[in-house]
Structure 1
Amino acid sequence: MPSLPADRSYTAEHEWVMIEPGAELPVTEPVRIGITSVAADALGELVFVELPEVGTKVVAGESCGEVESTKTVSDIFPPVSGTVTILNTAAIDDPGIVSRDPYGEGWLFAVLPTAADTLLTAAEYAQVAGVDS
């Protein structure tokens, strides 16, 4: 499993957001959101990704989409509230990219954030998830 990048924040629900730990909100640029390598490993190879549409207002901690593997379906809980600005069509077209590169090409969507749920540093998330950071 790849190490947890320290340049973003995490949630206990296994999502990440490209906000530096401790950053103030709102930020003026959209931020990318994805699932962690812990979630990707637990799910296995993804076969389907359902994301909120551009323009949708999402609420931190409330399901806004799902990822499906051959084993299970899992909800996506955005770490921040705000408006969806971009979808990663590569992840929709090839859901396996999320499993292969969850912190890079496998990001899911971007949000212009107005508020955040409880965000964790990489070290805090590793402790919650029971993995090495």
Structure 2
Amino acid sequence: MPIYYTEDHEWLSVEGDIATVGITHHAQDALGDVVFVDLPEVGKTIAQKEVAGVVESVKAAADVYMPVSGDVTEVNEALRADPALANSDPLGAGWFFKVKLSDAGQLTALLDETAYTKFSENA
């Protein structure tokens, strides 16, 4: 499964036309202990770069931006119940939502792991 990254510190893994979205290790490190997540509604259509949700920590609140346009197909209820999953397993159990891609071509504008690592070192 290919994994893509945004300059806003979201990641997405793509399987077929479904992408799983979350925040990166860098984002959760910068935020500190996550205490609340606001997830989008299932069925909602969200355009690329629009706010899809919010993550709040003991330090700050940050918007979660939609990496690609699409329809939200599922949200992580376990994360809603235990927001600390965003800290303990941001690339696994701490995923935020799944989205059905409406334009797979948007993936080409995202970063691969090497490019994201280089970008986040300077962020």
- 2:110 corresponding residue in structure 1: 119
**Bigger proportion of residues as strand:** 2
- 1:8 corresponding residue in structure 2: 3
Percent sequence identity is 41
- 1:43 corresponding residue in structure 2: 31
**Aligned partners of 2:32, 2:95: CA distance in 1, in Å?**
16
Q: Residue 7 of structure 1: CA displacement? A: 3.6
**Aligned partners of 2:80, 2:34: CA distance in 1, in Å?**
10
SS of residue matched to 1:80: coil
Q: How many residues align?
A: 119
2:4 partner letter: S
Aligned-pair RMSD on alpha carbons? 1.7
- 1:3 corresponding residue in structure 2: none
Q: Residue 19 of structure 1: CA displacement? A: 2.8
1:99 partner letter: N
**Aligned partners of 2:2, 2:44: CA distance in 1, in Å?**
26
Normalised TM-score (structure 2): 0.91
Q: Note the residue ranges of structure 1 that are not aligned, 5 or more in a row.
A: 1-5, 21-26
SS of residue matched to 2:28: helix
